[in-house]
Amino acid sequence: MKSEKTTMSDIAKALAISNISVSRALSGQDGVSEELRSKILIKASEMGYLRAKSSGDKKILVLHQKPFIQDSSNYSHMIQGIEKALQTVGCAYDVEFVDKSRQEKLYLPHKVAKGSGFDGIIFIGGFENPYVRFMASKIKNQVFYTGYSPVLDCDSVWYNFNNSGYKQCEYLIQKGHERIGFIGGSSVYANKEKVLGIELALEDHALPVRDDFFIYAEGSFEEKVSELIHDSKGKGPTALICQWDYTAIKLIKYLYEKGIRVPEDLSVIGSGNTEMASLSIPALTTLELHIDQACESAVELLFKRIEEPDKPYETVRINSTLVERDSVKAVE
């Protein structure tokens, strides 16, 4: 193998380890054992690897498009996770907030406008496609974390929402539920995948998919829930899967105010395993997203793109883990 074509990815494949472990070892960073570091250095030498620009020589721009005000999701955790992953590999970076209006006007991020050079961008969240294309003309290497778009050819780290929906629904079915619904925004691409997973689970268990049990609301959903409960005459859903923990906790509060008990009268399940999930009454059954591991994957994918700019685009999908608490009841 010619030395100029040996990459960190080649070394990682040869040793069946991650790219980020190879990067840490070759750049002298913490995070790998001395035994593994030695194996990596030996394999790199055997394969004729020529160390080009190290992680510590690179500079990454992290852009996010959601303010931290009243952050009831895992958004701040995601940004901190990306920072931690970049710090682990010893990489310089800048983090900047770019709101929707600045995207629409194609404003350059502050540091880019001031002349700072960057080797790559990590987008956190859903950015406008024209803005992404605009930034691609300025900084070639890009990775999307949670902002996957089927319109764009890009590297991305995305949660496996299809699997999540199936997993949540099947868990409820195993608890004896047959009338299962969903609450979430219709415009959110992730929800389209989640609903597909829910419908597949129902079909696989020969249970009906009740379209009237699927509540799509971009903002307030309480009125639609009220209509569903009063119109169903006791034949409404016994369990509702919610888009996020925040949605689920809002639902529990609303049901409590209407004299409907969770989980005695209706089971509720969320997604995200946010801090509020364990503090709610009852404590919320939800999904752990493994954010720190997802952030490491995003950084690893970006470095792989920088090193191999002509490789095919990749999407890494992260599966969630069910966290059982008190908001779901087994039914007979």
- The contacts of residue 304 (CB under 8 Å, 6+ apart) are 8, 9, 19, 155, 311, 314
pTM: 0.81
Domain 3-46 matching CATH 2.40.50: the answer reads no
**CATH 3.40.50.2300 domain locations along the chain:** 55-159+290-319, 161-289
3-state secondary structure of 226: helix
pLDDT at 3 over 60: no
Average confidence score pLDDT of the chain: 90
Q: Is residue 61 within 8 Å of 112, Cβ to Cβ?
A: yes
With vertex at residue 84, the alpha carbon angle to CA 82 and CA 85, rounded to the nearest 5 degrees, is 65
CATH annotation of 55-159+290-319? 3.40.50.2300
Q: Could you give the percent of the chain with pLDDT greater than 90? A: 65
Q: Where in the chain is the domain with CATH 1.10.260?
A: 3-46
Residues forming beta bridges with residue 286, ordered by sequence position: 323
Pairing of strands 120-124, 155-159: unpaired
Tens digit of pLDDT for each residue in 137-191?
999 999 999 988 888 899 999 999 999 999 999 999 999 999 999 999 887 889 9
> In the chain, which ranges are E strands?
59-64, 92-97, 120-124, 142-145, 155-159, 180-184, 214-216, 239-242, 267-269, 286-288, 315-318, 321-323
103 φ, ψ (degrees, to nearest 5): -65, -45
pLDDT category of residue 55 using cuts at 50, 70 and 90: low
**Does the pLDDT of residue 52 top 80, yes or no?**
no
CATH architecture assignment, domain 161-289: 3-Layer(aba) Sandwich (3.40)
CB 58 within 8 A of CB 91: yes
CB 180 within 8 A of CB 239: yes
Q: Is the pLDDT of residue 4 over 70?
A: no
C-alpha 165/C-alpha 148 separation (Å) is: 18
Q: What is the Rg, in whole angstroms, of the alpha carbon atoms belonging to the chain?
A: 23
Cα–Cα distance for residue pair 39/65, rounded to 1 Å: 41
CA distance 243 to 184: 5
